[in-house]
Amino acid sequence: MTGCGVPIPVECRCNSTPPPRALSLSAMISLNSLGMAYGAQTLFREGSLQLNAGCRYGVVGANGSGKSTLLRVIAGDESPTEGSVALPRKARVGVLRQDHFQFEDVPILDVVMMGDTELWAAFQAKERLLESDGEFDVNRFSELEELIQRRDGYAMEARAAEILAGLNIPDEAHRQPLSTLSGGFKLRVLLGQTLAASPEILLLDEPTNHLDILSIRWLEQFLAGSAACVAVISHDHRFLDNVCTHIVDVDYERLTLYRGNYTAFERLKKEERERKETEIKLREKQKKEHEATIERFRAKPTKARQARSQSKLVEKIVIEDLPRSSRRYPTFELKARRPSGKEVLKLEGIAKAYGDNQVLEGVDLNVRRGDRLAIIGPNGIGKSTLLKIALGLVELDAGEAEWGYEAHPGYFSQDQSELEPAADKTVESWLWDSCAGEPVGFVRGKLGKVLFEKDDVEKKVANLSGGEKARLVFAWLSVVKPTVLVLDEPTNHLDLEGIEALVEGLSRYDGTILFVSHDRWFVSRLATRIVEITPDGIEDFAGTYEEYLARCGDDHLDAQAVVEKAQQEKREAKRRRKKNA
């Protein structure tokens, strides 16, 4: 293999834990001189890789580099412009899709079981045979029964329920139609459907979106125990580190394979780039030295032969241009307009319920100047609600929220709802509204730092991608200079480069930060105070995330013990509710 990556052997045996069932070594993906282009834009070309069973490949690259396109080409949803993809003819392929609308009236448990199309069809056919009033087809019944037994089909419902539990969908919801869940939980069910199919090839595009931290950890463990060939796109650093045995880098219009997880990939790619830069500098130096010698010898007839010899050496020195990476790092310049008072936010006795669902009760919290406070906990526990109550966006049932002296919050919402009224405006005009006294160069400079260049500034806000909207909101925050940043899942739509740049920008910010995130790498790099919301109240810890884990005695986000602990807490809370009913 050539390019900017490190050449590695094609064959590998990757599964470090015993697989749940044996798979054929033929269950792999072969890419042969694969290329993909849209008009004049080339995403990648001449990609020849082999992805093997038991290995887990993280597909990384800048937004728009072709990661999702690569997975669609492998799945057969798109045709490449050159080359081919070869899969074993009878391999079961699982692809994470987001077409939940066709399952709205189907019970959640059935939606998951339908992922194994062969088994589901066998059960349906068997049921039709048993219900038929005509002559009973014994041979067909025997064929179906043999297939079900061979595939351990009678355990399918139990496996589906276990997957739903791991994705934090409660038992009492399993028989309800899919339409009873929110959009994020519907996508969890579709992820469960993909996993339940026991695929030999598994293609996952951003599977951690809409998962809470406990569900992410469960998914990591599920994939680590899988014998399938897994290709996964994610912007979660720690997920890629915990899951991946290899990284496929989509950059320089090439597909380059690295051995190891994401952290190893970053180191190897940096070392390879530095090695190439050193080689180029050395060759440039050699070329200049030879040219200087030629210049000295040219005026001396006695040195003509040596001059010709040096000229031949210069001709042999080939200096390749280093290709330009498609990765682009925004610059988030965030600064408080002035220092706030020491007491930034005081929450007392906060309570909030949605119908019979009591999300928050008796919450007390004091936020102090300079805090970088991370609010963590499972989905649905009230993290975003607490932020919205503090901002006055959600009416509380009881308690009081009070901002301190010169505490001016700047809000980044999870869905960038602050942009909805500006749907018909251009990127430039929307940002200019917040700094009307500034020249156009100031506005374009702010936009350029977050990667809006040239024609991008004329895009309609409504037409922006999730990542573009996120970067635009941060450009706005850099203009209004709040003394408190209130961020609800700020990394959701950013790529890996954007997340790294955001950590850097927030680390330089001189105000107070209050944020919700399920990105463990982001929390560990930024937080100086941890507030965990649990069914029994809040745990407030003054220290970093790593220090919090050390105090807890287990890794809240990375240990199986905490998954079991959370499940036990849910069971106990359920028993208490029944007792008090």
Domains held by the chain: number: 1
d(CA 528, CA 543): 5
Query: Is 358 part of a structural domain of the chain?
Result: yes
- Could you write out the DSSP letters of every residue in 462-510? GG--HHHHHHHHHHHHHHH--SEEEEESTTTT--HHHHHHHHHHHHH--
Q: Can you give the pLDDT of all 581 residues of the chain as single tens digits?
A: 333 333 333 334 454 443 334 444 444 899 999 999 999 899 999 999 999 999 999 999 988 899 999 999 999 999 999 999 999 988 889 999 877 778 999 999 999 999 999 999 999 999 999 888 888 888 999 999 999 999 999 999 999 999 999 998 989 999 999 999 987 889 999 999 999 988 999 999 999 988 888 889 899 999 999 999 999 999 999 999 999 999 999 999 999 999 999 999 999 999 988 888 888 888 778 777 777 777 777 767 767 777 777 777 777 777 777 777 888 999 999 999 999 999 999 999 999 999 888 999 999 999 999 999 999 988 888 999 999 999 999 999 999 999 999 999 999 999 888 888 888 899 999 999 999 899 999 999 999 999 998 889 999 999 998 889 999 999 999 999 999 999 999 998 899 999 999 999 999 999 999 999 999 999 999 999 999 998 888 999 999 998 988 887 554 444 444 445 555 555 666 666 666 66
- 206 close to 235: Cβ distance less than 8 angstroms: yes
CA dist 537 and 549 (Å) reads 18
* CA 143 remoteness from chain centre: 43
Q: Is residue 375 part of a domain?
A: yes
Q: Is residue 400 part of a domain?
A: yes
For residues 84 and 488, give the distance between their C-alpha atoms in angstroms, rounded to a whole number. 42
Instruction: Report which secondary-structure segment, H or E, holds 143.
Output: helix 138-150
**What CATH number does residue 532 fall under?**
3.40.50.300
**The pTM is what?**
0.80
Calculate the CA 310 to chain-centre distance. Answer: 54
Residue 264 lies in a domain: no
Flag whether 381 is in a domain: yes
Cβ–Cβ under 8 Å, residues 450 and 332: yes
State whether residue 151 is helix, strand or coil: coil
Domain span at 357: 343-408+482-580
State the burial class of residue 312 (Cβ atoms within 10 Å of its Cβ: 0-12, 13-18, 19+).
exposed
**Maximum alpha-carbon separation in the chain:** 109
Per-residue pLDDT, 562: 47
Q: Kindly state whether residue 72 falls inside one of the protein's structural domains.
A: no
In a domain, 514, yes or no: yes
The residue to which tokens 């030999």 are assigned: 200
Closest Cα to residue 313, out of 340, 330, 331, 293? 293
How does pLDDT run across 237-289, given as a tens digit for each residue? 999 999 999 999 999 999 999 999 999 999 999 998 888 888 888 877 877 77
3-state SS class at 94: strand
Does 557 map to a domain?
yes
